[in-house]
């Protein structure tokens, strides 16, 4: 069994749905349909699951994924942008994922199944759904805060700390522009979720950004200053989860939203997700 992921890029252009056609596909790498006027740019990550065909060496031809997205999903999104632009995007995912699964299953002789679809509405904001749980949407949004820290363990000698952490043990500390991405699980009920993107942004700002942005974590934050809690990216991710999770639960007191996990990037090369 393998999983194949294909990113399909496209634009929704003003009045295109009513015009009844798209321009030529001269640049499918950047987006097709391409941008015309003040359009919307989107990406769909389509994750398919199945077995590799022993004769062809293929599980699924990626051109089939492209064609299925443009024949179905793009049309669904295009119509919604024209007629229901104020809805929560996750509301469209059950229709999109069912249409893709039907098209790809038919074209691949029943050997392919869509496992998940992730719709990237911006480079930092996405909604995702699994075909096995079409009542659940995963909402992700990224944020940034700048902070300094020093990696130092009270249980080690100064020499052992220098050997363990190297430059990161500098007594004056060092800094990072941290990126943080909460992943919130939402139960679909109607066209508005229990937690909107605006709600998430407000809660993250209140509980995490205001607490950590432009701070020296070892000095300015009690959880790392007083408890001797080493502010590694692992511990930062865990602390962010434990602070944000109850805030989301309190906001959605009647249910319908919970924090699934938080990912923190210390650099583009290093990140940690908690819980794993």
Q: What is the CATH number of the domain that holds 98?
A: 3.30.479
Task: Among 137, 154, 170, identify where a domain stops.
Answer: 137
pLDDT for position 91: 96
Token output for 60: 């699924």
Stretches in the chain below the pLDDT threshold 70: 16-21, 106-112, 227-228
CB 231 within 8 A of CB 224: yes
Provide the number of structural domains found in the chain. 2
Boundary residue ending a domain (89, 122, 137)? 137
172 and 101, same structural domain? no
Check whether residue 172 and residue 95 sit in a common domain: no
Verify that 166 and 122 share a domain, yes or no. no
Measured distance CA(122)–CA(142) in Å, rounded: 10
Q: Which domain holds residue 166?
A: 142-274
Same domain, 12 and 106: yes
pLDDT at 109: 59
Point out the domain boundary residue: 137, 171, 193: 137
Say if residue 119 is in the same domain as residue 197. Answer: no
Can you tell me the distance from the alpha carbon of 227 to that of 131, in angstroms, rounded to the nearest whole number?
A: 44
- Do 115 and 198 lie in a common domain? no
Residue 37 CB neighbour total at 10 angstroms: 9
Q: What is the pLDDT of residues 49-73, one digit of tens each?
A: 988 888 888 888 899 999 999 999 9
Q: Assess whether 105 and 212 both reside in one domain.
A: no
Same domain, 10 and 130: yes
Check whether residue 125 and residue 162 sit in a common domain. Answer: no
Catalytic residues, by residue number, are 168, 214, 266
The predicted model scores a pTM of 0.92
Output b/e per residue, 208-232; b: 16+ Cβ within 10 A: beebbeebbbbeebeebeeeebbbb
What pLDDT sits at residue 154?
86
């Amino acid at each position: 069994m393998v999983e194949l992921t294909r990113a399909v890029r496209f634009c929704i252009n003003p009045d295109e749905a009513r015009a009844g056609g798209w321009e030529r596909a001269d640049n499918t790498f950047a987006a097709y349909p391409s941008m015309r006027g003040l359009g919307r740019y989107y990406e769909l990550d389509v994750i398919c699951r199945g077995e590799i065909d022993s004769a062809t060496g293929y599980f699924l031809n990626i051109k089939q994924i492209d064609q299925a997205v443009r024949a179905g999903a793009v049309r669904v999104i295009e119509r919604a942008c024209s007629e229901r632009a104020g809805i929560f995007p996750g509301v469209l995912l059950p229709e999109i994922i069912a249409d893709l699964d039907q098209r790809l299953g038919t074209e691949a002789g029943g050997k392919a199944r869509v496992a998940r679809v992730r719709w990237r509405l911006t480079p930092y904001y996405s909604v995702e759904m699994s075909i096995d749980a079409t009542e659940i949407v995963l909402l992700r949004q990224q944020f940034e805060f700048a902070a300094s820290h020093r990696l130092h363990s009270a249980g080690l000698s100064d020499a052992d700390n220098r050997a363990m952490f190297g430059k990161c043990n500098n007594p004056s500390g060092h800094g990072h522009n941290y990126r943080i991405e909460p992943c919130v699980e939402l139960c679909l009920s109607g066209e508005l979720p229990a937690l909107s993107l605006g709600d998430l942004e407000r809660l993250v700002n209140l509980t995490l950004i205001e607490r950590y942005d432009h701070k020296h974590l070892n000095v300015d934050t009690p959880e790392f200053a007083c408890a001797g809690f080493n502010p590694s990216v692992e511990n930062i991710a865990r602390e962010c989860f434990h602070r944000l999770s109850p805030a989301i639960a309190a906001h959605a007191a009647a249910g319908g939203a919970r924090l699934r996990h938080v990912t923190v990037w210390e650099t583009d090369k290093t990140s940690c997700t908690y819980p794993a």
